[in-house]
Amino acid sequence: MKKEGINLEKQIDNLVQKFNENPDKEIQVISHFDTDGISSATIMIQTLKKLDKKFSLKIVKSLEEQFIYDLPKNKITIFLDLGSGNLNSIVESGLKNVFIIDHHEITQEIPKDINIISSELDKKQKMSASCLTYLFCKKLYPASKELAKLGILGMIGDMLEKEIDKLNNKILEEGEIKRKRGILIYPSTRPLNRTLEYCSNPYIPEVTGNQKGVREFLREIGLKPKNGKYQSLIELNQEEMSKLVTAIMLKNPKTKNNQIIGDIFLINLFNRLEDARELSAMVNACSRLGESGLAIQLLMENPQAKKKAEAMYVRYRQHIVSGLKQIAKIEKIQGKNFLIINAKDSIKDTIIGTLTSILSKSSLYEEGTIITALAYYRDKIKISSRCVGNTDRNVREVLASVVQEIGGEVGGHKQAAGCNISRKNEKEFIDLLKKNLEIELVKI
């Protein structure tokens, strides 16, 4: 059964009790490769080390059926930030002692042999997998409180910062997170022209990814270089900051003031305060460029990892800018409140979701538009779908209805979801998606 309405604390108590029933069994941890998944994995492995448990870790882009079937059956298996959409495959694979800590939508009945913690079952608050993992690990090993900051990092990585004040478990306080009010473009400590060039949230038309456009934009609002160098955001005075906010809103009329101004969360890492949004972007950069191990080392505060991660972050931002330019050239399938972008092999599958998110936050498309992008990897296609604005349209349901007919794996949330399909089903997928989006729109 689906078991909705189960108090989160009770879920955690039940999971800890079940987990402790096999104290000597080896553990395999499987986690997602985004910031939430990497934060969850780091919290878990740090805790398992303190408990002197024998474990292995795998970071994955998605949980594919064959991968699940190939997992060893004689170990405890912990899925972090994934698994909710793969319950049937997990049961069919023959895995025993399965634990899932996840926050994605659950659309299947929960088999009795699967132990799960999910904020979806509580419904009282939205929470990242990293916060759920932290609460589980704190119950296992109460001295894990120094890992609370990684729980908050995962929340911000999954853009759940507006839910942070609703957390009823002191995670923010235990993580010693500092916050201040300011403009939400990051990084706030680097020259303004570089910050704006790589700014993707909000996406600024004719500025993001355009060096010449950045210089023209800053010239128009009277922000000039001083001694050959632009100031950073934190060096601007109140009048200069006001001009910048107004100019961004004029360039992107759909951007509201509360989308640009908000809380900046500062996390203590390497004995200095880091902007959580930039830290999250750096973790994502490492993972999406194939270095998830480096991302974990960064969060474990390995000094050598920090320099490598910073270099990886520069490369990743360049990929994002070139990806946005590539999308502008790609022929698109467009209909009433939907857009399909088939990037094929012109854009890496690991950044297609990030680019789709950027487009969904731009002023280019009407609220309620569903943007879906496809990118090749191996013999498969990675598909990312996002909904513009806050509407009742459910992109996960739309993708699930197509995948149900042609096969594949789907996961995610109402406004941000993804799936993987075989490349041979490319045309059928696009035709069915277009048809379903048109039908789904008529239903609204």
Provide the pLDDT for residue 301.
96
What is the number of structural domains in the chain? 4
The amino acid occupying position 269 is: L
Segment 422-439 shows an average pLDDT of 92
Please tell me the pTM assigned to this model: 0.81
106 and 62 both lie in a single domain: yes
Is there a domain that residue 158 lies in? no
Report d(CA 292, CA 35) in Å as an integer: 10
- CATH for 63: 3.90.1640.30
202 and 299 both lie in a single domain: no
133 and 197 both lie in a single domain: no
By residue range, what is the domain housing residue 415?
330-443
231 and 303 both lie in a single domain: no
Report d(CA 202, CA 296) in Å as an integer: 28
- Place 105 in a pLDDT band, splitting at 50, 70 and 90: confident
- Say if residues 354 and 418 touch (Cβ distance below 8 Å): no
Is there a domain that residue 170 lies in? no
23 and 139 both lie in a single domain: yes
Is there a domain that residue 162 lies in? no
Give pairs for 239-247: CB < 8 Å, separation 24+.
Answer: 241/183, 244/183, 244/192, 245/183, 246/221, 247/217, 247/220, 247/221
Provide the pLDDT for residue 4.
59
22 and 113 both lie in a single domain: yes
- Place 444 in a pLDDT band, splitting at 50, 70 and 90: very low
- Say if residues 31 and 41 touch (Cβ distance below 8 Å): yes
Higher pLDDT, 9 or 189: 9
Provide the pLDDT for residue 95.
93
- Say if residues 98 and 77 touch (Cβ distance below 8 Å): yes
87 and 14 both lie in a single domain: yes
Name the most confidently modeled range: 167-181, 190-204, 376-390.
Answer: 376-390
Higher pLDDT, 276 or 203: 276
124 and 249 both lie in a single domain: no
350 and 321 both lie in a single domain: no
21 and 124 both lie in a single domain: yes
| Stretch (H or E) spanning 32 | strand 27-32
- Place 237 in a pLDDT band, splitting at 50, 70 and 90: confident
Structure tokens at 309: 């991660």
- Say if residues 99 and 76 touch (Cβ distance below 8 Å): yes
Provide the pLDDT for residue 1.
43
**Is pLDDT of 364 > 70?**
yes
What's the angle, vertex CA 78, arms to CA 73 and CA 83, rounded to 5? 95
- Residue that is last in its domain, among 211, 238, 261: 261
Is there a domain that residue 172 lies in? no
Peptide bond into 187 cis (omega under 30): yes
424 and 359 both lie in a single domain: yes
193 and 313 both lie in a single domain: no
- Say if residues 108 and 102 touch (Cβ distance below 8 Å): no
Percent of the chain with pLDDT over 70: 95
- Say if residues 247 and 217 touch (Cβ distance below 8 Å): yes
- CATH for 368: 3.10.310.40
Segment 17-34 shows an average pLDDT of 94
**Is pLDDT of 56 > 90?**
yes
| Stretch (H or E) spanning 416 | strand 416-422
Is there a domain that residue 175 lies in? no
